[in-house]
Amino acid sequence: QPWRSPGEPQALFSFPAPRWPVECEVIQETIEHIEWVPPQPEPFCPPVGPEQAPYTLGEEQGTVVYHSSPALQGSCFTRARVGGAPGPLSSPAAPLEGPQDTTLLFESRFESGNLQKAIKVGPYEYVLTLRPDLYTAKHTQWFYFRVQNTRREPLYRFTIANMAKPKSLYGQGLRPLLYSQQDAQGHGIGWRRVGTDIRYYRGSAGEPPVFRLSWTVRFPHDGDTCFFAACYPYTYSDLQRYLRALAADPARSRYCTVRALCRSLAGNTVYLLTITSPGGAAGKRVVVASARVHPSESSGSWAMRGFLDFLLSSHADAQLLRRLFVFKVVPMLNPDGVVVGNSRCSLAGRDPNRAYETALPSSFPGVWHLRAMVRRVLAEREVVLYCDFHGHSRKNNVFMYGCDASGDSARTRLRQRVFPLMLSKNAPDKFSFTSCKFQVQKNKEGTGRVSMWRLGVSHSYTLEVAFSGSTLGRKSYHFSMEDLESLGRLLCDTLLDFCDPAPAKLQQCLAEADALLQRQMGRELGSGGSWSDVAPSELESSTSGSDSSVSDG
C-alpha cells in the first residue's frame, strides 16, 4: 500500500537481529559507540613527503597473532542465520603468555568488522590484512577492528598490506579514526582522528598491484579496549535502533511509516520509509532518496540520518516539505554487505550499483525493488528528485554527479546543474560545485543515478561525501558526525529553494551555470560558440570520476 496515509494506525514493525552467512563467526558482545563531536575541527595530517615505504620487517619474519577467515563453501552465498556460524567460536587470536606480554589482542568478528589477519613484526609493530568482500577476491578499502591489551607509552605502527586502490585520501591528509572505551566511559569522548607519519604507497610488484596504508599512533591508556575504523561506523543494528525509536515515537510516527521494501539475500529487511503530512498524498510530488548501496560508505548513512532527522522534526521548513512532497527513503540498500563488513559488494559478490539495468530480484533484491517502486510511482505522479547518498575515498569535500545528455535542450542541460549549484551556495564550506560531474558514461549505465534518469526522473543525482573532509575554508579539516548530519538538513533547504514557485533563485542559478559553462568551454576548448553545442564528455575532464572506476575490474 504505497500511498496509505502515514496518519493511519499501524502495527509496530519488528526489528529482528541481523542474519549472517553461515560461514561467518560472530562474537556475542554488542558493539556500540557513543556519539561525540570534537570541540575543535580536526585538521588533516601534514604530508610526509614522497610516498615511500617505511622500513618494516618482512611478514614472513613476524608472528601471526590473529587470523580469522570464513571457510567459504564454494564461491557463492548459500544460506544465512541469526548469529552466523553455529557451534562454538574458534580462537583466532594468539593467547597472551602472561601479564608482561604486550602483544595486542585483535578482534573483528562483529557487525561491519573485516580484519582477516594480524602479524606482529616488531615489539609494537603490526602488519594487517583486510578480508576481501565475501565471495570475491578484491575490494579492500573499508577497515574496522578492535584491539585490547594496549600500552600508553610506546609508539605503535600499523600497516594494512592489501588496500586495493592506487589513489587514496590518506595520501592527502586523511587520518584513521580511533575509539577508546576508557575515554568514552570516563570522559564522554568518542571517535577521533589519530595517526602520524601516515603513508599510502604501492606494496608488492605483483599483479594486480596492492597498496599499503601505514600510520603510527600512541594509545591514550594502558589496558584499554580500542577500535580503529576508516570512517564513522554505521551498522545495520544502528539503523534498526534508529527506526525502532522512530516507530515508538507517537509524534514522528504520525507522518512516517516504516515498511519492508524487500528482504536481502541473507533475509535482512531492506527498510522503506514513507514520509509526508497526515491526510494523504493527493497532488503531491515525490522525492526518492537512498543510501549504503556500497557498505564501506558510512559517511552516506550519517548524511542520511541528518536528512531524516530534519524531515521528521517540527521545524517550519520540515513541515512545509511534508505538506508539499511524499518522501520515499531507503536508508540502507545493501544491509548484507554492511553486516559482514564488505567494502563494495552484496552477497552476490558483485557491485549492486552496476546492476540496476540487469538486476534480477533474486540476485539484487534491494536495487531491483527500488527501481520497480520508482517505476510504479512515476506511473501516478512526478518524481521531482532522486538522490543516492555515497562516500568517496579519493576526492575531498562534498559534490554530486548528475545526468547531462547532449541531445537535450540548453535549458534542460542547465537545469541539471541548478540543484548542485544551489547546494553549493547553502553549504559553501563543504560542497564543491567545481567537483561535480554530469557526464553519463557508458560504464555507469547500471548505476541508480542513471537508471532513475532513464526511467524519467529528470533530476537524478549521486551525492558524494568525502571520507576525509573539507578543503574549502581557510584550513582543511575532517568532517565530524555533526558535519555529515548537517548535509541532510542542507539538502532539505536546497530542495525548498529548487522548488520555490518564485522564479528569482532559479533564474539566477540558470544564468550563473550558463556563465560558468561558457567560461569553462573557452578555457578548456579555446574556441568561440556556445557550450550547448558541445558534448558533456568534452566539457569535463575524465580524470576524477566515480570512486569505483579504479577497482571494478
| Of the candidate ranges 54-63, 71-80, 309-318, the one whose mean pLDDT is the lowest | 54-63
Task: Render pLDDT for 441-496 as a digit per residue (tens, 0 to 9).
Answer: 887 888 999 999 999 999 999 999 999 999 998 889 999 999 999 999 999 999 99
- Spatial distance between the Cα atoms of 89 and 180, rounded to a whole number of angstroms: 25
Classified as helix, coil or strand, 544 is coil
Q: Which residue has the cell 496515509?
A: 5
pLDDT bracket for residue 73 (50, 70, 90) = low
Specify whether 402 is located in the same domain as 443: yes
Q: Of residues 23, 107, 297, 464, which has the active-site annotation?
A: 464
Specify whether 221 is located in the same domain as 245: no
Q: Give the cell for residue 430.
A: 563543504
- Spatial distance between the Cα atoms of 138 and 130, rounded to a whole number of angstroms: 10
- CA distance to 183, 294, 371, 448, per residue, from 548 (Å): 36, 10, 21, 14
Task: Render pLDDT for 308-349 as a digit per residue (tens, 0 to 9).
Answer: 999 999 999 999 999 999 999 999 999 999 999 999 999 999
- CA distance to 304, 335, 455, per residue, from 2 (Å): 21, 22, 19
- Spatial distance between the Cα atoms of 376 and 261, rounded to a whole number of angstroms: 13
The pLDDT value recorded for residue 535 is 72
The pLDDT value recorded for residue 52 is 59
Residue 13 located in a structural domain: no
87 versus 232: the higher-pLDDT residue is 232
The pLDDT value recorded for residue 1 is 37
* R_g of the chain computed on alpha carbons: 24
Question: 456 φ, ψ to 5°?
Answer: 125, 10
The pLDDT value recorded for residue 528 is 57
Closest listed residue to residue 291, CA positions, set 234, 235, 330: 330
Mean pLDDT of 166-170: 91
Residue 532 located in a structural domain: no
The pLDDT value recorded for residue 373 is 97
Please calculate the CA angle 93-191-119 and round it to the nearest 5 degrees. 25
Per-residue DSSP letter, 172: G
Closest listed residue to residue 151, CA positions, set 217, 215, 55: 217
Q: Give the cell for residue 62.
A: 613476524
CATH number at residue 32: 2.60.40.3120
Q: Annotate 220-280 with DSSP letters as a single string.
A: SSTT-EEEEESS----HHHHHHHHHHHHT-TTGGGSEEEEEEEE-TTS-EEEEEEE--SS-
Mean pLDDT of 157-181: 94
Average model confidence (pLDDT) across the chain: 90
Looking at 229, 244, 261, the residue that finishes a domain is 229
- Spatial distance between the Cα atoms of 393 and 230, rounded to a whole number of angstroms: 10
Could you tell me the pTM of the whole model?
A: 0.93
Specify whether 176 is located in the same domain as 42: yes
Strand 285-291 relative to strand 383-392: parallel, antiparallel, unpaired?
Answer: parallel
Task: Render pLDDT for 227-276 as a digit per residue (tens, 0 to 9).
Answer: 999 999 999 999 999 999 999 999 999 999 999 999 999 999 999 999 99
pLDDT tops 80 at residue 522: no
- Contact in structure between 300 and 291 (CB atoms under 8 Å): yes
Looking at 201, 229, 257, the residue that finishes a domain is 229
Q: Give just the sign of the alpha carbon dihedral 167, 169, 172, 174.
A: negative
- Spatial distance between the Cα atoms of 285 and 377, rounded to a whole number of angstroms: 10
Active site residue 464: yes
Q: Give the cell for residue 3.
A: 500511498
Closest listed residue to residue 272, CA positions, set 358, 388, 373: 373
- Spatial distance between the Cα atoms of 169 and 296, rounded to a whole number of angstroms: 15
499 versus 525: the higher-pLDDT residue is 499
Looking at 229, 253, 270, the residue that finishes a domain is 229
pLDDT bracket for residue 162 (50, 70, 90) = very high
- Domain span at residue 35? 19-229
Specify whether 158 is located in the same domain as 253: no
- Contact in structure between 523 and 315 (CB atoms under 8 Å): no
Specify whether 176 is located in the same domain as 289: no
- Spatial distance between the Cα atoms of 103 and 100, rounded to a whole number of angstroms: 9
pLDDT tops 90 at residue 54: no
Mean pLDDT of 190-194: 98
Buried b (16+ CB within 10 A) or exposed e, 103-117: bbbbbbbbbbbbbbb
Secondary structure, 3-state, 372-432: HHHHHHHCCCCEEEEEEEEEECCCCCEEEEEEECCCCCHHHHHHHHHHHHHHHHHCCCCEC
Specify whether 107 is located in the same domain as 190: yes
Specify whether 396 is located in the same domain as 371: yes
Per-residue DSSP letter, 169: G
Specify whether 285 is located in the same domain as 336: yes
Specify whether 173 is located in the same domain as 284: no
Specify whether 194 is located in the same domain as 249: no
Specify whether 214 is located in the same domain as 302: no
Task: Render pLDDT for 428-448 as a digit per residue (tens, 0 to 9).
Answer: 999 999 999 998 888 788 899
The pLDDT value recorded for residue 551 is 39
pLDDT above 70 as % of the chain = 90
Specify whether 175 is located in the same domain as 64: yes
CATH number at residue 516: 3.40.630.10
Domain count, the chain: 2
369 versus 525: the higher-pLDDT residue is 369
The pLDDT value recorded for residue 525 is 52
Q: Give just the sign of the alpha carbon dihedral 487, 472, 169, 433.
A: positive
pLDDT tops 60 at residue 12: no
Per-residue DSSP letter, 43: B
